[in-house]
Amino acid sequence: MLQELSIRNFAIIESLNLSIEEGLTVLSGETGAGKSIIIDAIHLLVGGRGSAEFVRHGEKKAEIEGLFYLDRQDHPCYQKAEVVGVEIEDDMLILRREISASGKSVCRINGKLVTISTLREIGSTLVDIHGQHEHQELMDERFHLLLLDQFGGNEIISALSNYQEIYTVYDQTKNHLDKLNDNEQKTAHRLDLIQFQLSEIEKAELRLHEDEELMEEKRKLNNFEKLYEALNSAYESIQGEQKALDWTGLAMSHMESVSDIDEELNTVLDSVSSSYYALEDASRTIRYQLDGLEYNPERLHEIEDRLNEINSLKRKYGTSIEEILEYSARIEEEIDQITNRDTHILELQNKLASFEKDLEIEANNLTDVRKKVATELTNSIHDQLQELYMAKPFSSKV
């Protein structure tokens, strides 16, 4: 909210300081007293279009400055100020604008020089200015319910939330029922389609991650020769006569023979022993891999055919086996609903009737709350008008 306003050499105003309290502030006075000029000054302060005509006759420049207090931490001004590099301290913002006699404008926010567009962007979050008949939302019945709900606060929010929660479930149930009530020919065509799709997926007997396993097996078969040569050479290098294992074993024997002479050599012996046993384990693993290697051209063709089948299903029903199986589960449920259509329709009709009763209860409760709040709002408006000496009997309908 605007707390302080300072105007210097603006139009007919030589100097003016206003302190504004929380709540409704009314500027009153005779025609020509300067009410509109103050509004014009505020308009310029938040980025309105200015010109040299606003500078008081005989002065070099007009100055307008306003102190704004941000009353909540989620105020949109914080985000906009951060984007343009303006720091906000103690939830206060000072806007200043100077217009020279030559028409040049200088804008500052919290002492930082900014462009008029930046001033306008931040100012739009602080002040809304509406001229006579410019903003008719208050008189538009389409917005009255929204304004009433805003005035009602948590009391209406709670009642409205309960109504909307039940209405969402009611709407979903009704849409589901409408789909089941579609014409029989359309339903029959849909049933034929998804039964064929389900049969195709079930016939494939898919397993999760099967495609990944097949790709790995295919890669090994395609690189069989390279894999065999590498494993065989590695095994010979470790297990062959006068190779790594023999020499490491010999080194271990030599170290064992002198380990009791120098205790520091035990550390070396442990390292050599560990290397020996690690090589033994590695050679057994390599031997196991070699024994399991078998080049089978027919198996490669089987893998390729299976992958082609899986890829064909992916193009139709999902990008992965998991998605295909999920789709299969969905259409299986849909088939059950269609084949047992009458039973499902009866169940949904019963649910819908129950939701309608609950919805009516919540709707009546919401109406009662709104009527009560509407009475409070009416009385509050009457009180405010009376304070402004604008009280006048009139009829109202809630």
Q: Above 90 in pLDDT, residue 168?
A: yes
Candidates 51, 50, 53, 41; CA nearest to 4 is 41
Mean pLDDT for the stretch of residues 252-265: 84
- Supply the pLDDT for residue 186: 80
Q: Above 90 in pLDDT, residue 361?
A: yes
% the chain with pLDDT above 70? 94
- Supply the pLDDT for residue 391: 62
pLDDT category of residue 34 using cuts at 50, 70 and 90: confident
Helix (H) or strand (E) holding 125: none
- Supply the pLDDT for residue 67: 93
pLDDT category of residue 97 using cuts at 50, 70 and 90: very high
Cα separation, 398 vs 392, whole angstroms: 18
pLDDT category of residue 359 using cuts at 50, 70 and 90: very high
Structure tokens at 202: 């079930």
Cα separation, 108 vs 235, whole angstroms: 79
pTM given for the model: 0.38
The least confident of 93-102, 195-204, 289-298 is 289-298
DSSP SS3 for 92:
strand
Q: Each residue of 102-117: pLDDT tens digit?
A: 889 999 999 889 999 8
Q: Above 70 in pLDDT, residue 143?
A: yes
CA distances from 379 to 226, 391, 398 (A): 91, 12, 12
> Is the Cβ–Cβ distance between 45 and 66 less than 8 Å?
yes
Better-predicted residue by pLDDT, 390 or 131: 390
- Supply the pLDDT for residue 36: 85
Enumerate residues 6+ apart whose C-beta is below 8 A from 230. Answer: none
Q: Above 70 in pLDDT, residue 398?
A: no
Q: Each residue of 199-252: pLDDT tens digit?
A: 999 999 999 999 999 999 888 888 887 888 888 888 888 888 888 888 888 888
Structure tokens at 294: 């078998």
Candidates 158, 137, 165, 167; CA nearest to 370 is 158
- Supply the pLDDT for residue 392: 61
Helix and strand numbers, DSSP H then E, in the chain: 13, 6
